[in-house]
Structure 1
């Protein structure tokens, strides 16, 4: 299909000026015909030099797994097998469960070459999805017209928890620069137990320089001592109706899942054991605490399958299931939500029971509901209810702290950093 471009429409409109001038002098009427004749010839030349559909090849590329709630790069490579240069405007047919600021990709393609460009897409739900075709609008060298093509290149993709954030954490951990992305640096030393050698970084203790290794490599090498904790780090994730609330772009469960994934990465680098349990009205998944290399893959697979449902969570059933399997004293992060004393009675009981055997950290989301202004009777009543709910929640948190249960207050922006930093501080 041939589509006129904006430049062609502007030039076409300019021709009407000769019609107006033709009332004053007939010669302008002749010039109008000449003008339109030249425009038609140029348009024909422009169309003739636009590459045909069979002369263009389109390929879509992306990571094996996309990350929920993060900007994932979708790359395109367009091979131009013709002898003509062109400008290509590309639009992708992406799944409706994803969003992007701009799905339009512009490429300038030289003759007999391959052009590449990319755009970012943000998935809002985990699961299996399919990209459809790709629409191309190919303009000629003069930019007067374009040919529009559609290429059917369906691509299946899986959306996982935020793997990009995990990769960033592990990369910055290796570079000893976790502070740059908001995480604490793991505590080294204390047991005088040698762990490994690495290149000297700013801030390292110069007394730990290994002079023999330094002379061999010709740059400073330091010894790193690290405590061998062998601790159990465990996450208990409520996937019931209390976690279905949307908190920004994602649900509370999605943020809990992302934080658990980063926590698993941090625990593996600290050589601690990591495990998890997800539940609602029943137990959905359980991973025994482990520090084997495959534990991250097991955690990722379990969290990928975790979806919030609208059943009432059975906290006591989750406790009974866990206590038969987790006998070693552990650091447990509980992801759920308090509402009021009546609704959260079973949750409070679960936390107190766990606190008798383990070190408990309860992760609570800060309220983001818009406060009522109190301008009319309905608004005043709503404001009073909001204040009472907040006050009751604060009372519950204080009561829990008296039994040794620490509450971590988080929001969508800092949940991963706060959870991981709390673990690294223990």
Structure 2
């Protein structure tokens, strides 16, 4: 799919930033598990967190396609930085922007949009995620305050020095049939009883901030309820499709990075007096990378265009699931191919393909696993999948 000149110009801007401010440092950041707050704030100054936010909150009032372009270009240099932007907008800003009251938007969005602050979204628990009914975190309304008890896991952007809040799903009651009533509540960082547990020791995404969270008698004002009571899980599902397209854009950046690295290496590395790129066994694998890249990119920007055109419902849900499924599984394959092209060097951390190999797997899991995407697609085809 051909993007507009404006989108391509924006792509160059983000690429120049990523190559100048991120690329020279990512190997060390990854090795040290360092979250670069200064670079995140510089991304805010560039306007990346406010791409899709209205001007009244400091945003650019731009389109979703532009956000995908930014995520792709950041992900081409480093996947952790790309997911930091994706989660900050998709899971931090979007719930407040979509479901918040005017007062909530005025209170929290300006700092988030400017990149001065980050927000996380706490959905997943040890036994709950897609299964909303299994949510164990509870919130009880006591006079004019919610009292929250429970825990969440795998929460991105939840423990940085500029994290200002986490939005969590919690049981706020039950309906007549005993079904859990799930609502969404905003909990400010530093609230008494709110503990950010030590960061995970992850396979990949070493630069990204990810923590388990616990809540013990956390009290927040009643007006911290986000959206309608009992609609918390439905609200999350409403923004999840956007996130799937954005994760797919991150995967496109991964595939592009693998193709770029392989082209350079195959032209420089020689065996038997010739560049390895002259060997069909290598050339054909790199050709496969190009095919996966073009197909994934087309699916991502087709889905993004539907979003920008205001298409909702099954059509967008299907496009998002297809893009997410194909692009993320292609990214995992692309990193395997790239590592193979590099041979023994691909197994060494000094080469970026090793980092991309570690980072890629989570793309098939976050924002809905590949199995969930296949279920969504099957249901869209009319199949009675449970």
Q: Between Structure 1 and Structure 2, whose CA radius of gyration is higher? A: 1
Length-normalised TM-score, structure 2: 0.28
Q: What TM-score results when the alignment is normalised by the length of structure 1? A: 0.26
Higher helix share: 2
**Higher normalized contact order (CA 8 Å, seq sep 6+, divided by chain length):** 2
Larger relative strand fraction: 1
